[in-house]
Amino acid sequence: MTGVRSLKIIRVQGGKRETVEDRITEEISLRLLAEHRRIAELMCSPGDLEDMVRGFFFTNGFIQKADQIRRIVINRATWSAFIELDPEIDAGSFRLSGVIGSACGSTLPVDEDSAAAGVGQEERGEVRPSEVRPSEAGLRVSAQYIGALMEAFRAQSEHHRQTGGVHAAALADQKDILVFREDIGRHNAVDKVIGACLLLGNNFTDKLLLTSGRLSSEILHKAVRCSLPIVVSRSAPTDRSVALARERNITLIGFARGQRMNVYSGAERVVVEPL
C-alpha cells in the first residue's frame, strides 16, 4: 500500500513483551516551487500529491480554476513539486512561505512576532475577501443518507485500518461518494479531494465535504473558499468553526456516527424522517 511501511517493534501486553511487525504511515516533506520561487513546504503523505498541490493552490486563493495550473511535475527523489502556472498568475504575489506541519492548514507566518507565537494566518481568523464566497442554500439531504454516507466513508479508510495514522476526506453528491483521499494531515486530505474534484469542474455547491478530523476554522475556510454547503465529520467542531459556519450559511455536522449526529449550523438542509 502506498504510504505505508513495515518495521519491527517491541509490543508490551499483559506483562509480556514480544517482537512483532507493525505498519506505520510514511511522512514526507514536499517542497512547492512555482516560477522558480519556493512557495511552501508541506508535511504530508506521499500519495495523490498532484491533487493536494492543486487543492492547496485553490484553497489558498492562488488560482480560481484548475486550468490555471498548466502542469505539476513531482520529483520523488527530492520530494519537490514544480508547478507551471498560467502566465496571468503571478507567483510573486503569493503570501505564503514556510514549512506547513501536517496539523496546520496554512503556512507559518513570515513576520517574526507571529512566527514566535507559532500561529498561522487562518488560525488568527484572517481570510482575504476574494477567498470568501457564501455557500448556496439549495442542497438538502436526509439524516439517514448522511449516516449511510459516513458508514461508506469509514469503510473506505483502508490506510487508517492498516496504520491508525491518517485522516480521511471525501466529496459526495446526493447519490454517492465521488472522491476519497487520505493523508497524515486532515487539511491535506481536504485539499486532496478538492484538487481532484477541480478536474471535474469548479462547482462545489451541490457537494458534501466529509472528514474524519476535527472541524477547525481552517477546514471551514476551505469549505467557504469552495462554496461547499454541507460539511460533515465524525469528530468535533471548534467554536470558531461554528461561528464561521453560521455566518456563511454552511451546514456544519459533527459526531456523525450511524444515525446520530450533532447539527451546529444550517439545520434546514438536513431532512429528518422517522425511522
Beta strands in 66-119 (DSSP E): 69-75, 80-85, 99-100
The single-letter DSSP state of residue 215 is B
Residue tagged 476535527 (cell numbers)? 214
Helix axes 49-59, 217-226, angle to 10 degrees: 80
Other Cβ atoms less than 10 A from the Cβ of 158: the count is: 14
Sequence-separated (6 or more) residues with CB below 8 Å from residue 83: 32, 33, 34, 39, 53, 57, 69, 71, 72
Choose the catalytic residue: 44, 104, 197, 226: 104
- 104 noted as active-site residue: yes
Just list the catalytic residues: 104
